[in-house]
Structure 1
């Protein structure tokens, strides 16, 4: 490939950085321009709610790569740079400072943005926190000494991870969740109740089917009141109510529907422009649904796949089974697949021992699984989902029957 070629990557999260690394690993000889709004070297986000927040890891400990990696002559880093406009017809991006950067191929890995509680933003309380960036984590860290009781809005994975981290460093934590059961939309009622019970056993208050209606305080919140009439004193509030996509940059330029639409090769509706990670919507081959995934493993793999297809068009379809993990107290939680519906669940192991795999089945096929403290099950479960074979529920729930044996028998039957 000509050294005059230039690939521009918008976003230096795990998707963008792994795409850049993949380009170098495949001996791309052109220039890679890596752009990001943040000024710090690219870093890993999962530790922000865990090891970084508690002080177990410092800034150097969460870097995706050491500074030397970006000193490769083929990588041009442009940190602290925001994109103002995308001009697909001219193959150009325009930065907010007016600089124009041309590209031969473009990869968009701009991720997602936090959902915010507008009333809190309007009131500008000093002790309200969100957690998306290292800057967010630093701000919370700086005030930890004055926080004895943290109120968390939202019992999703981020909210519960922060709750576990804060408890570990001696803070009192109360979590408010508007739904009847935490995580039930993703994991079902039984598993949602199980995870909530593990937090309660450790001493974390979780109020479900309730939400905050009033924040009390002037410049800082000192108490909250809920729909059910609960009044809880607190020193700070953390909001963890999920993320959304931002289509402003690509509006009317690329196909967009709660995410940039990409084909199986991660290419958008405009040739030579690709997208990967949280901002991309793609067709999941297991279900045929158009989905958008907001997980580290997905972003890493999709970024690498996009890079390969930019070098060798149409050579590598993206078929990776979605996967994420979450560490909460002594639970190592891993989740595979993307089941939006299921008609049967099968438990392998026991909840009482905190070692089990919950399978989600649809039409006798495994479409997802939640794995708790059984990491050896990840690879065989991934195979079960990707092969989409008919499964015996009795065998699946029988720990005496090895998963590898079930896979082999199912493959033979089909």
Structure 2
């Protein structure tokens, strides 16, 4: 049956090799991971794990012996250094060469770092991307200490929530006009700004970092408005970028990610890609979806297509974020929205995004029922009238039958 090599032992890579086995593939499988441990869930790193509410073993998607039991060669602490798509080989550190019949690139993404020139190389400056990052910063979370968070996206806000709950003094700066500007409507930004300020977080919008200061270790910050802060440590959450170095060096087409067709194939024969590193077709354009849901679904579709299914991948985007006692659930993609309808149900709130009169996305805060209804409506291509959504008397479940 041949040999399938998967580079990248994250959520996508783990999902792909698991699906290969459940689909009956009985050839050789090698899963290469640069980190030392088995594949694990990343979202919890900035939430429950950082809070100390989740043990390390619970992060693992499957125990290590599961891979051996399913005849999957899980090689952790092993970094691929090059791919030859003509010879169909992968070279790993130490100059070992693996031959493949099919190759999957599930290399994920990297956090954007602060340049050394502005203090990014000082001790006490962290990002939240992998388990080593979370382990390194965990001792910093001590009541009364002063934390600066740079970036008002979901990672920054989740870290702020953890720190505030643990009694730290938190300042969060966001260079854009508002937090979550890139990913959410002003109504959602307003909701979470109010939530964080109610918990004592000092949110400053339209203000960025000029430089971090300190001798060897960070001890202060100068902001773009001239403000100076005394801080004990800093967390950088200014976005991620796809891990495409291997693909680019191999001559595989990349543009803000490894380009794939509807089946997950790249421009190279017998080479596939899935997860954060891969672009996909969405309503006539190439996009990347940075989410657990996409990593699982796209990787499982690629696994089936490796085995001949020829199944087009149709993404059903969903995301989530936990902050304090609020669970945000997002369905759909809000690209191109021109109107947002706010629905209030007691303490629950949901924001319904429309493009013209077409429902395209829903943000639901502590509102799982309307999240599920919105998700099903979007997937079914149904768009209730905006006045119907806004009316608190509307029987929302009945909309699914309309």
Task: Tell me the TM-score range normalised by the shorter chain.
Answer: over 0.9
- Counterpart of 2:213 in 1: which secondary structure? strand
Aligned ranges 1:110-259 → 2 under 5 Å:
110-119=107-116, 124-145=121-142, 148-251=145-248, 253-259=251-257
SS in 2 for 1:176: strand
| Cα distance in 1 between the residues matched to 2:127 and 2:21 | 35
User: What whole-Å deviation, never above 9, does each CA across 1:201-242 have from its counterpart, x for those lacking one?
Assistant: 111111111112132211122221212222221100110100
Task: Spell out the pairing of 1:34-113 with structure 2 (5 A cutoff).
Answer: 34-113=31-110
* Structure 2 segments unaligned to the other structure (5+ residues): none
Cα pair distance change 1:123/1:312, threshold 3 Å: closer
Distance 2:118 2:277 in 1: 24
Q: How much does 1:121 deviate? A: 7.6
Partner-residue secondary structure (3-state), 1:197? helix
How has the CA–CA distance of structure 1 residues 264 and 109 changed in structure 2, closer, same or farther, with 3 Å as cutoff?
A: same
1:166, CA displacement in angstroms? 1.1
Alpha-carbon distance in structure 2 between the residues aligned to 1:204 and 1:95: 45
**What is the TM-score when the length of structure 2 is the normalising length?**
0.95
Say which of 305, 308, 311 aligns to 1:312.
308
Measured against aligned partners, the alpha-carbon deviations of 1:91-120 in whole angstroms (never above 9, x if no partner) come to: 111112101111111111000111111136
1:369 paired to 2:366: no
In 2, the alpha carbon distance for the partners of 1:149 and 1:91 equals 51
Q: In the alignment, what sits opposite 1:412?
A: none
For 2:184 and 2:70, locate their aligned partners in 1 and report how far apart those are by CA, in whole Å.
46
Paired residue secondary structure (1:250)? helix
Distance in structure 2 (CA, Å) of the matches to 1:150 and 1:390: 43
The structural deviation recorded for 1:74 is 2.1
**Contact 1:266 1:302 (8 Å CA) reproduced:** yes
Match of 2:298 in 1: 302
Per the alignment, in what secondary structure is the counterpart of residue 260 of structure 1? Answer: coil
Change beyond 3 A, Cα 1:220–1:230: same
* Distance verdict in 2 for CA 1:262–1:403, change over 3 Å: farther
- The whole-number CA distance in structure 1 between the counterparts of 2:285 and 2:204 is 34
CA contact (8 A) 1:338 1:367 kept: yes
Tell me the residue number matched to 1:334. 329
Question: Aligned with 2:397: secondary structure?
Answer: helix
CA spacing shift, 1:123–1:206, aligned 2, 3 Å: closer
Tell me, in whole angstroms, the C-alpha distance in 1 between the residues paired with 2:140 and 2:69.
38
Is 2:326 the partner of 1:291? no
Partner of 2:339: 344
Quote the Cα distance in structure 2 between the aligned partners of 1:67 and 1:13: 13
CA contact (8 A) 2:39 2:60 kept: yes
Measured in 2, the distance between the counterparts of 1:373 and 1:123 equals: 36
CA distance in 2, matches of 1:145, 1:396: 44
Q: What is the TM-score when the length of structure 1 is the normalising length?
A: 0.93
Q: Is the 8 A contact 1:366 1:391 kept in 2?
A: yes
CA–CA distance in structure 2, aligned partners of residues 42 and 160 of structure 1: 25
* 1-structure distance, mates of 2:67, 2:356: 48
Q: Which one is further off, 190-199 or 66-75?
A: 66-75
